[in-house]
Structure 1
Amino acid sequence: MLDLEVVPERSLGNEQWEFALGMPLAQAISILQKHCRIIKNVQVLYSEQTPLSHDLILNLTQDGIKLLFDATNQRLKVKIVGAFWDDVPLSLCVCLCFSGVHFNSQAIAPTIEQIDQSFGATHPGVYNAAEQLFHLNFRGLSFSFQLDSWNEAPKYEPNFAMGLASLQIPHGAMVKRMHIYTGNNLQETRAPAMPLACFLGNIYAECVDVLRDQAGPLGLKLRLLTAGCGPGVMGDAKVRCLERNIYFGDSCQDVLSALGSPHKVFYKSEDKMKIHSPSPHKQVPSKCNDYFFNYFTLGVDILFDSTNHLVKKFVLHTNYPGHYNFNIYHRCDFKIPLVIKKGADSQFEDCILTTYSKWDQIQELFGHPMEKPVVLHRSSSANNTNPFGSTFCFGLQRMIFEVMQNNHIASVTLYGVPRTTSQARHDSSNTH
């Protein structure tokens, strides 16, 4: 049984790990994978057709814990601890303590008197008749008590002493559920900014803008977040915001200087899209392999040419659940300007495609259907299976959009005409 410390508005965890509000989804899953012998039977719950309309949930069924992640930014928003089975008390799911003192364990029942003793007085609670639950709220923390066996709903008596004693609730009422969140209102809570403790020496992309001209993309403008600390003083740690531009034709050294070392370098063994190339030499094997710099926390891959070691391709990942690569990359929050020709007088209009745009909406903007897509079916080399099905690749303005069956964009691959290094650096300096 897990023994966890509750910190209102912040976290739930122990000395080995903690689930902190604002934590990225990938870090929470990494904790679960690392402690899989202790934390078992984990479910990932999401909406397959409308993934942005419902929270993404990690359900720890054995321990009675649900972690709710914001569907847009994929950061931890709410932690729910409770008995999700009517016949199983909370005390048999998990041990909970506050400020080092247990208020729920096999020896201590989470009664309303125990909550009063552990957390002190608070504002009068709220009774929800539809749920038959009584909600008692502290800042960043709330407790729900089951009332289905009571004859009357609880009433607030203003003549009594303030605090829990002013509520006409039978002695021994047990906590059914506990919520940990940010702020005073559970219904209006939002995922906070990522805590400093979650940076772990990584850089994260707040947003990524695609730079382009009339013909197509030229490169990326990345707004980066990083947390460093002063020399020997953790208290000086602050989140810093940086802007970096990367262009087609930039060298390996340019990219390393701007973004730092990648999390992984991947050498391509084959190019499955080569058969669709118009080049007559597409079947001639290359003497050396192109390679990717994988920046997982940015949600970006950068492909370098193996001959001259210059950037030739960018890949932006949206990390939607239900995709084959889900949870490998953090979500890349990108903006891509598209040039749309309007009318017979050849006027052009710009529109912005984002991580959250749906492909059928983009086709409507162009006013005509795209060419037939290339069907992409990923599979593991171990068992050659893909439970999520195929995706569809559409080419548009030197970009390839990988579209899922729910019409959301899984990834965008950007191609460009390589520029000289001196030209790219000159443009970058003008941008700043």
Structure 2
Amino acid sequence: MFSALDVDIQPGFGVGMFEIGASLWTVLDAVRRMQHAFPQVDVKYDPDASAMTPIIVHLRPHVDLLFSGKHQRLHTICIRKLRDPNPPVILRYKESVLSSSDEVLRRIGVSRIFGPTYPGDDLRYPGLWFSFDEDGIGEGRKGAHPEDKMQEVKRVFVSQKDLGKEGDALGEVSECPIMDGDIALAILKVRDGITLHFHPSTSNAAHIRIGQTTAQDLNILLGPPLRVHYKEDDRMKIHSSNPDSTRPETSYFYNFFQHGLDFLISGKDHVVRKIILHSNVPGTPLFQRYKRCNWELEGNPEDDEDDSPPRKRFYDRFETISHFLSPRQPPPSMLLDRTDDEDDITLPSSTTRLHGYDGIILEVSEASHVVSVTLF
């Protein structure tokens, strides 16, 4: 028997531990550590558009979390099955208990606590609304009786206050304080490095260059990595034309899972040798190991006065990005199965392909999504 789900509702900001604007990676990482509270977790998405699909996380039986498609930020929280006692759910607002095993939340109760609002099938307030249907959004449904004060509330929704009545339920989340310090955009330049733009938008950009930026610089710019990995995977060295590359080396990785970034750092001079950016595409072997890094690959400007060089983005298909890098036929690819060393992981599509170009490697899923980019 699991303990009751006891949460406080904050219109426009969140419910309990779930805060609007939090990243998918952060929320799932927290839920994974709380299996006693959330023993059943389902992640649903559109497999035909997995790079940009909105994602719904079901924490059965009471919580549904909707994440935006591009930035994978918590957009809407739904609390449902308010009368399901396995386990019971208690909803609070400030000092009041809205719903519990002993307290049925009804239309008249909502009006008494939150006051009047605009007419409609649901009771809608800034950043908060109450639905009297068990399932579905409720638009255009039949059988609602707004005049029935004893209607029982079946679901409670929380979203940003500026979403508005006609807001896009599948849109992106506006910048909010929980995003501060996170990477908003990473601009890639082949044979150079990356430029990182942070939340809030008034923050200064950070430039990380291959062969110049040091490990100490990374600690200053990004804080300490979540992991330092000293064992380099040497299996690719057999393909190198550089005879020195087969010699043992003490290089190490800085893993910033919280930013969707890895850096390979030379053990000799401690400068960045490679940069790896992760797209966190659902259904792929690396999903949820890294937060999504919203990257854009920048090309050369057409002339000296061109202040908007062409770019390709993480959600563009591999064929489009490949042609952007090289108009010729794509180079031969190598097959990679990241589940070879994981006996307990089975995926419908566990293999990816590595496509190498001058200064950049694309890891591509069977659905032609670029799941990671390596600059060297």
Q: TM-score normalized by structure 2?
A: 0.84
The residue identity in structure 2 corresponding to 1:97 is: R
The count of residues paired between Structure 1 and Structure 2 equals 354
CA, structure 1 residues 95+147, in 2 after alignment: closer, same or farther (shift >3 Å)?
closer
CA, structure 1 residues 261+321, in 2 after alignment: closer, same or farther (shift >3 Å)?
same
Partner of 2:185: 207
The reply to whether residue 115 of structure 1 matches residue 110 of structure 2 is: yes
Q: What is the deviation of 1:42?
A: 0.8
Render the CA deviation track for 1:316-368: whole Å, top value 9, x for unaligned: 11111122222222211222124699xxxxxxxx7412122111223455554
The reply to whether residue 6 of structure 1 matches residue 9 of structure 2 is: yes
CA, structure 1 residues 381+147, in 2 after alignment: closer, same or farther (shift >3 Å)?
closer
Q: Sequence identity, in percent?
A: 25
Answer whether contact 1:21 1:191 (CA < 8 A) is retained: no
Partner of 1:172: 150
CA, structure 1 residues 5+91, in 2 after alignment: closer, same or farther (shift >3 Å)?
farther
CA, structure 1 residues 252+188, in 2 after alignment: closer, same or farther (shift >3 Å)?
closer
Q: Which has the higher contact order (CA 8 A, sep 6+)?
A: 2
Answer whether contact 1:104 1:110 (CA < 8 A) is retained: yes
1:244 to 199, 202, 206: 206
For the residues of structure 2 that align with 1:208 and 1:113, how far apart are their CA atoms?
A: 49
1:369 to 329, 335, 341: 329
CA, structure 1 residues 392+89, in 2 after alignment: closer, same or farther (shift >3 Å)?
same
Partner of 2:177: 196
Partner of 1:162: none
1:378 to 338, 357, 373: 338
1:74 to 68, 72, 75: 72
Partner of 1:103: 98
Partner of 2:227: 264
Render the CA deviation track for 1:1-44: whole Å, top value 9, x for unaligned: 2011111111100xxxx101111112211221222112210111
CA RMSD of aligned residues (A): 2.8
The reply to whether residue 356 of structure 1 matches residue 315 of structure 2 is: yes
Specify the SS of the correspondent of 1:30.
helix
Q: What is the deviation of 1:390?
A: 0.5
The reply to whether residue 217 of structure 1 matches residue 191 of structure 2 is: yes
Specify the SS of the correspondent of 1:175.
coil
Q: What is the deviation of 1:207?
A: 1.2
Answer whether contact 2:215 2:265 (CA < 8 A) is retained: yes
Render the CA deviation track for 1:167-207: whole Å, top value 9, x for unaligned: 422x53211222111233264254434543565xxx32121
For the residues of structure 1 that align with 2:144 and 2:227, how far apart are their CA atoms?
A: 58
The residue identity in structure 1 corresponding to 2:242 is: S
Q: Which runs of 5+ in 2 are unaligned?
A: 136-141, 303-308
Answer whether contact 1:90 1:175 (CA < 8 A) is retained: no
> Map of 1:294-373 to 2, 5 A cutoff?
294-338=255-299, 351-363=310-322, 366-373=326-333
Q: Which runs of 5+ in 1 are unaligned?
A: 126-133, 156-166, 227-238, 342-349, 416-432
Decide which structure has the larger Cα Rg and report it.
1
CA, structure 1 residues 33+307, in 2 after alignment: closer, same or farther (shift >3 Å)?
same
For the residues of structure 2 that align with 1:264 and 1:247, how far apart are their CA atoms?
A: 21
CA, structure 1 residues 194+26, in 2 after alignment: closer, same or farther (shift >3 Å)?
farther
Render the CA deviation track for 1:59-104: whole Å, top value 9, x for unaligned: 0123x21000001011100011113xxxx84576521111221121
Partner of 1:346: none
For the residues of structure 1 that align with 2:229 and 2:131, how far apart are their CA atoms?
A: 50
Q: What is the deviation of 1:225?
A: 3.4
CA, structure 1 residues 258+10, in 2 after alignment: closer, same or farther (shift >3 Å)?
closer
